[in-house]
Chain A
Amino acid sequence: MLYAQILVNGLVLGGLYACIAVGFSLVWGVLNVINILHGSFVVLGSYVAYFAYVHLGLHPFLSVFLSGALLFALGYAVQAGLINKVIRAPVLTTLVLTFGLELILNNGVLLAFSADYRTVQLSNPMGSVVVGGIVLPLERVTATLLALALTGLLYLMLVKSRVGRAIVAVRMDPEAAALMGVKVKKIYAITFGVGALMAGAAGSLLSVVFPISPLNSTEFLGIAFVVCVLGGLGSIAGAMVGGIALGVIESFGALFIGPEHGLTIAFVLLILLLIVRPTGIMGRRGYE
């Protein structure tokens, strides 16, 4: 029974991880940019949810739209204004640039909100139910289901919408897409915006589960990395699989080795995977 409970905990955690990672994976896959800002985007989403709840009484599950919209605007501006200008430079340039931007953003968030941990104290919490001896904390479960639903929406957007098709086209072959009349740099900005949107939305959902602090941004970034490599770069299904795998591995790792080693286990796994399967753990094809 203990193992079943831990498995469920891992699955619940994994859905949230998938939502954290999918935007990061999208940006990496389409733009070949590792967005070091991603962790801070998640934290910003949490702060939007926190303040929307404290000042407007907006439930974090609803402020997903608000944080998503705000983060989309921020992400779009960063890509269009800065990263697009050096997108053709060697990998090191974009990597160091997003690192520099992250130092600025994270320092700004620290100054504005301090390093104190905050939590969203819901006035009418949903509590938990016991199903077949397994405890299901309802807020967590709902957050995870919403995270998976959002990820599903992103998938639909990529497959069905005009913009989504353009993103997929640019990912597969930017030159050919440009010849077909796709404005590649605009698509890059939209993609980066969507990546930030998913991070912000994930942040809002996380705010009912985890304490909020700028200090968490590195951990979220680490999670995004590992999920991406575990599941496969740029594919939505990959992010889902990787997220859930990480959630389950972390939960069992916490049981057997100790909760403080969760991220390390993930990192060791990541290095091993990189060594064994260096080129694309799952396919680098379109978004299926």
Chain B
Amino acid sequence: MMNRVWTVLTVIAIALVAAMPALGDNYLLRLGTMGAMYAVLALSWNVIGGFAGYPSFATAAFFGLGAYTGGILQGAGLPMPLAWGAACVVAAAFAALLGLAILHLKGHYFAIASLVVGEVLLEIATSWTSLTGGGMGLNLPIIRISIDAQARLFFWSMLTFAVLALLMNYLVARHRLGFGLDCIRQNEDAASMVGIDTTRYKIIAFALSALFVGGAGALYASWVFYIEPPDVFATLTSVKPIVMAMLGGAGTVLGPAVGAVIFLTMEELVWRNLLSIHAAALGLLIVGLIFFLPGGLIGLLTGRRRRAAPKAKGGAA
């Protein structure tokens, strides 16, 4: 019963967002595209960070990798949708390989390794001038349709990614994979002992967490026409999705999407009014979130607190 209510509410919310182009306001359309992008990032992080409880800070790495993959392929003449698809595949493959290397790390060690990967990619993108344009940035081919049509195209595409990411979360949560990831979050050793192939599950989750982020990065690149390394590999791109997911409810299916919308609303208000202290405002939001809303908004509504993961003492354990 409860599930049906949520499903209906979700469909209504998506329909409302999808109706935004009808209002014909390009500012709203831009906001809608941003919101969908944030939802993609938060929902994607949720698979590894929420379900499996692995504190991944690799979102910026996947996003930047996708942006450059898409940008370079488009520059080489590949049609835009194919370039986006390729970015999805490249990011997921990269995550799977990266996962093989760093998913045996626990706690802080995993967090740092995943964070540093983005920094290294940033440096590579900056110094590999012949491929990426280096610090000068990369210009993408101009699209020969009207500005309004472009705004709509990117909005619809990003919304599609967001809905796919939501669907992916839903399917993972219902599938064996979701159950396995839940076990891993609660006690990985025990999960391994009862026969869950933890390595395979973690790598699948990590790859899924990169899939749509890579696509969103490529879409973002096409949308803004120009990317540069510090823009698409920004550390905040890794942190914001975590905050959004926690805001809505990490480990739930709808929470990250709800969190993304609320986060965007707050960011928009703060950006416009408090430009010089926007970082501090984000910081205050984070601190408030951790002390007053540890289960996220969804947790508050359903009265269900996310079970705390076991204390990961020592990080290296």
Contact = CB atoms under 8 A, between A and B. Distances in A.
Contacts of A279: 316-317
Contact of A32 (B101, B290, B314): B314
B308 interface: yes
Interface string A255-271: 00000010110011011
Interface string B91-116: 00000000001101111110111001
Given A90-B308, A97-B287, A100-B286, A278 B109 contact: yes
Interface stretch (A81-89, A119-127, A176-184, A201-209): A81-89
B7 interface: no
B131 interface: no
A188 interface: no
A104 B284 contact: yes
Given A88-B311, A91-B312, 4 more contacts: A96-B243, A96-B286, A104-B283, A107-B283
A91 B278 CA distance: 26
A261 B314 contact: no
Given A32-B108, A274-B105, A96 B290 contact: yes
Contacts of A284: 314, 316
**9 residue pairs, one from A and one from B, having the closest CB atoms:** A100-B286, A103-B283, A104-B283, A107-B280, A264-B123, A92-B55, A107-B279, A100-B283, A91-B107
B119 A267 contact: yes
A108 B280 contact: yes
Interface residues of A, number: 44
A101 interface: yes
A106 interface: yes
26 contacts: A28-B315, A32-B108, A32-B312, A32-B314, A34-B111, A82-B291, A90-B308, A92-B242, A96-B242, A96-B290, A97-B287, A100-B283, A100-B284, A100-B286, A100-B287, A101-B283, A104-B280, A104-B284, A218-B235, A222-B119, A229-B112, A264-B123, A267-B120, A270-B113, A278-B109, A284-B314
Nearest to B123: A264
B283 A275 contact: no
Interface of A: 28, 32, 34, 82, 85-86, 88-93, 95-97, 99-108, 111, 218, 222, 225, 229, 233, 261, 263-264, 267-268, 270-271, 274-275, 278-280, 284
A147 B75 CA distance: 51
Nearest to B115: A225
Contacts of B277: 107, 111
Given A91-B107, A278-B316, A103 B112 contact: no
A85 B292 CA distance: 12
Contacts of A91: 55, 107-108, 111, 312, 315
Interface residues of B, number: 48
B141 interface: no
B133 interface: no
Contacts of A88: 311
A138 B112 CA distance: 36
Interface string B262-282: 000000000000001111101
B246 A96 contact: yes
B34 interface: no
A277 B314 CA distance: 15
A187 B106 CA distance: 25
A124 to B, nearest CB: 39
B127 interface: yes
A201 B70 CA distance: 47
A32 B315 CA distance: 7
Nearest to B57: A95
A91 B53 CA distance: 9
Nearest to A34: B108
Contacts of A280: 316
Contacts of A103: 279-280, 282-283, 286
A264 B291 CA distance: 35
B309 interface: yes
